[in-house]
Structure 1
Amino acid sequence: MIDSLYPAPLARRAWALARRWALAWWRIIDLGAVVLVLLCSPSSYRRAARARLAQQIYTDTVPILAGFTALAALLSLVITHIVVVTALSYGLTRYALEMVIRVLVLELIPLTAALFVAMRTTIPGAAQLAQLRRSGALQALRAQGGDPVRMEFLPRVLAGAYASVTLAALSCVVALVMAYLGVYGLTTAGLPAYTRMFGQVFTPSVTLVFALKTLLSSLAVALIPMASSLYPAHSSALQRRHAAGQGGLARLFAVLLLIELVSLLGNYY
């Protein structure tokens, strides 16, 4: 008789969890649509809005650009050396550089850039936005006739997406240069073979998948953390706030994993 009492609370918890999950994803989709509408609105590009956006892009991109580029260069040299030495031992030298470019440039660099921007820029920015909401600054801005989404949310989202794309693009160029130097050294003798192999790897379909993967990953790391910070929690308990933050991170990692899986299917199947 006691066991028969458990299904009802369990069903209620499952239903509440499903509702929170659906509500969280609906908020992300809704705010993504709002951002798209604001991007198409001429009022989002007035002088004050442009200055605010430029400042946010500079703040979110420039401080982390040099550090991540150096990290990408070091990672490229290490991975290139490991792959080349392993390929030499198995007699697969001619495939080594192509493997480096496929693994490093197509897969690792865009994903690493998105995660780096999330940890260094968008998640701290989402915490700042949540603090503004809890302090009442967003409500005061709305009471003065301003739009918190346009003035606070939109610049952070666009700056996060811009930082992710910039870091991925620059780091891919650095990785390609480091891969060449790691195999051929300081000589131009390998340029014809390298450019031919590069063209064989970056076919039109692979280039399209790579561009879409980079763009979607940047939008995910820019939008998902910010979306969770705009809405108040239904409970004031500290554990609920921690659970909401962990749920946002779980959704972010799930989306990045899904994008990575789809890109792998598009490139190799």
Structure 2
Amino acid sequence: MNWSHATVSLAARFWDGACETALAWWRSIYLGAVVLVLLLSPSSYRGTVRGRMAYQMYVQTGPVLLGFTALAALLCAVITHIVVVTALSYGLSRYALEMVVRVLVLELIPLTACLFVAMRCTIPSGTQLAQLRVRGHISALQQRGVDPVRTELMPRAVGGLFACLTLAALSCVVALITAYLSVYGFSLAGLPVYTRLFGQVFKPGVTLVFILKTCFFSLAVALIPMASGWYAPLPRLRQQGRELGGLARMFVVLLVIEILSLMGNYY
């Protein structure tokens, strides 16, 4: 009897966990669709909502812009030096710079920028949304006839999306400049070779995959933490578990996008 009871209890917990996970995925997809529809609506760019979006875009991007640029430049310089020295030791110096551009610009920098924005901006914003629900601010807005998704959630999501795209674009430019300076120094002699290499790497198909990957990375980082905070249950312990679940879902989505981009580039 004890064994059968334990088996039934384990199956019930497994079923409850599976249902909760499926519900969390559905809520993230639904809320992402709602936010995208609101982004395409002209009414979302009027009145106080426009000011809130501008504020969130500045708050989530401005304070971290300089620090992340310096961090990206340092990271790119270190990786470029390691790759170039290793390639020289194996007699593969002509492939070193192309490898640096592919690894840094196409793969590492966009993912690093999005993870940085997630840890610094969007996950704390999702926590803020959960705290607003706990304090009853969301219910008060609904009672006054104000749409909280439009006024509270969408500006934070737009700010996170803008931060991801801005930091990814800026860090890619910094990576290209740092890679050139690490190999050729402050000389224009290597510019024709470097320009030709850039054209060989960024073919139309690769460029399209890179743009789509960066956009989907940004959407995942901006929307999934918001959904976790928006639908977080009120008890504190369950709220912490939901935050960890949202973080796990975000990493799963980023991993799937990265795998699809690698398949599109190299297969």
Fold equivalence (TM over 0.5): yes
Q: How does 1:94-109 map to 2 (within 5 A)?
A: 94-109=94-109
Per-residue CA distance 1:167-215 (angstroms, 9 max, x = gap) = 0000000000000000011100101100001000001111011001100
2 CA distance for matches of 1:108 and 1:137? 39
- 1:75-94 aligned within 5 A: 75-94=75-94
Letter in 1 for 2:11: A
1:102-133 CA-partner distances (Å, limit 9, x unpaired): 00110110000000000000011111111111
Shift of 1:260: 1.0
The correspondence for 2:246, drawn from 245, 248, 254, is 248
User: What code does the residue aligned with 1:242 have?
Assistant: Q
Structure 2: how far apart are the matches of 1:8 and 1:245? 28
Structure 1 residue 161: deviation in Å?
A: 0.6
TM-score by length of 2: 0.97
**Alignment match, 1:27:** 27
Give unpaired runs (5+ residues) of structure 1.
Answer: none
Distance verdict in 2 for CA 1:146–1:221, change over 3 Å:
same
Q: In the alignment, is the contact (CA less than 8 A) between 2:232 and 2:242 conserved in 1?
A: no
Could you tell me how far 1:165 is from its partner in structure 2? Answer: 0.6
Counterpart in 2 of 1:267? 265
Return structure 1 stretches of 4+ with deviation > 3 angstroms: none
Distance 1:247 1:41, change over 3 A: same
Q: Which runs of 5+ in 2 are unaligned?
A: none
Q: TM-score, normalised by structure 1?
A: 0.97
What letter is aligned with 1:195? T
2: CA distance between counterparts of 1:76 and 1:208?
23
Tell me the distance in 1 between the aligned counterparts of 2:49 and 2:139. 19
The whole-number CA distance in structure 2 between the counterparts of 1:240 and 1:160 is 25
Cα distance between partner residues in 2 of 1:232 and 1:94? 52
Q: Distance in 2 between matches of 1:48 and 1:42?
A: 13
Residues 1:47 and 2:47 aligned together: yes
Cα offset, 1:232, TM superposition:
4.1
Q: What amino acid sits opposite 2:50 in the alignment?
A: R
Which whole-Å CA distance do the structure 2 matches of 1:84 and 1:6 have between them? 58
Counterparts of 1:10 and 1:152, CA distance in 2: 39
Residue of 234, 237, 258 corresponding to 1:239: 237
Residue pair 2:105, 2:172 contacting (<8 A) in 1 also: yes
Give yes or no for the alignment of 1:152 onto 2:152. Answer: yes
Question: How many pairs does the alignment contain?
Answer: 267
Task: List aligned pairs for 1:1-269, cutoff 5 A.
Answer: 1-233=1-233, 236=235, 238-269=236-267
